[in-house]
Amino acid sequence: MKKNTAKQNVTKNTTRGRPRSTAPVKTTKPAKQGGGSLAIYIYWFIILFFIAATFYILGRSHGIITDATPNNVEITEEALLQPSDYYASGRDKLVAGDVNGAIADLTTAIDSGNADINSYILRGEAYMQLSDFRHALDDFNTAIERDSMNAIAYYDRALLNMRLEDYASALSDINNALAAQTANPTDVLQMRDLYAKRGQLNLWLKNWQGAIADYTNSLARPDGVVSPTVYAERAEAYTALGNYTSAIDDYASAVRVISEQIQGATSVSARENLSSMAMSYFEKSAALNLGVGNVAAARSDLESAYTIAAALADSASMERIQGVIAGLQQQ
C-alpha cells in the first residue's frame, strides 16, 4: 500500500511538470517586466528632453538665457516688461527730461510689434526735442496712417511743420486736428489752443481776417487757460488792418491777464518773463495811441513800461523809454 501511494505521488508531481526537488525552471516573465520598465524610462526621458529644449528656445528668443551664462537662466526685470510698461517708462523719462532714455524705451515698445500709436506719437515728440525732425516726422506719419482721426498726431505734425517753416502743411494739419478733435475729442488737446495755433499760422501767412476770427474763437472757448499772447497777436492783426482802437484794447487785455498770472507765478524767472511781456505790450500800445493822436494815453503807457523796466533793472529799456517820454513832453 505504501509503495503504491508513493508511486501515485510521483505520478501526480510528474503531471504538473518536473519534480519539485529538481532545479527551478527558467521563465521569460521577469525578462518581459524588466524590458517594459526600460521602455517607460526612455519614453519619459524623451518627453522631458523636448520640454527642456522648448523652454531653452523660448528663453533665448526673449533674451532671458544669455550666451554669457549658457548653463544658467537669468531673469531680468526688463525681460518681464510688456510694451505698455515700456511706453509708461518712456513717458515718465520724457517728462523727467531724459529724452534719450525715453526714445530707447519707446523704441523697445514699438519693436515688440504690439505697441499702439501713442508710442509713435510720444517718440516723435521726443525726437522733436532733439531737433531730429526727420525721425519725428516719420513717427507722426506712421501714427496718422494708423489712425486718420487722431487729433494729437495732426497737432504735433503741425508744430513740426511750423518749425520747418512749411506753413501751408502746418495749416492743413491744424485743420485736420480741429476736425478730428470735433469728431473724436481727447482730453490732451483743447479747442481753445487749436484755434489759437491756427490764428498764429494765419497771422504768419498775413491772413489778418482769418487770424482775428481764430483768436476770437479761441478766447470764446470756456476750456483751458487764456494766454495773453492770444490778445497780443490779435492786436497785431488789428494793427495790420489799421484798426488801432481794437488793437489798443487787446494790448490792455493782455496786460490784465499778465497781472493775474503774475500773482500765481511760482518762480522769479516766470514773473520776470511775464513782466517783460507786459512792458513790451505797454510800449506797443503807446505807439498806437500816438498814431490816433492820444498823447496822454501814450505817455501813461510809457510810464507804466518804464516802471516795469526799473523793477527788472533793465537799464537799456529804461534809457530808451525815458527818451521817448522826454520827446513827448517837448510836443
147 vs 19, 23, 155, CA distance in Å? 95, 90, 13
Q: Where are the alpha helices (DSSP H) in the chain?
A: 2-16, 29-61, 77-80, 83-96, 99-111, 117-129, 133-146, 151-163, 167-183, 191-204, 208-220, 228-240, 244-264, 268-291, 295-311, 315-329
Question: Over the stretch 282-313, which tens digit does the pLDDT of each residue have?
Answer: 999 999 999 999 999 999 999 999 999 999 99
C-alpha dihedral sign at 226, 229, 233, 236: positive
**Tell me, what's the pLDDT at 114?**
79
**Tell me, what's the pLDDT at 42?**
62
For the cut 80, the answer to whether the pLDDT of residue 116 exceeds it is yes
How confident is residue 53, by pLDDT bands cut at 50, 70 and 90? low
pLDDT average, residue stretch 201-226: 95
250 CB neighbour count, 10 Å cutoff: 28
pLDDT average, residue stretch 150-157: 98
Nearest-angstrom CA–CA distance, 278 and 282: 6
Does residue 298 or residue 51 have the better pLDDT?
298
Does residue 46 or residue 203 have the better pLDDT?
203
- Cβ pair 272, 302 in contact under 8 A: no
**Tell me, what's the pLDDT at 55?**
54
- Cβ pair 124, 155 in contact under 8 A: no
Residue 84, C-alpha cell as written in the block: 505698455
Domain annotation for the chain: domains and CATH numbers: 63-189 (1.25.40.10)
Q: Which residues contact 86 (CB under 8 A, 6 or more apart)?
A: 105, 106, 108, 109, 112, 115, 119
**Tell me, what's the pLDDT at 225?**
87
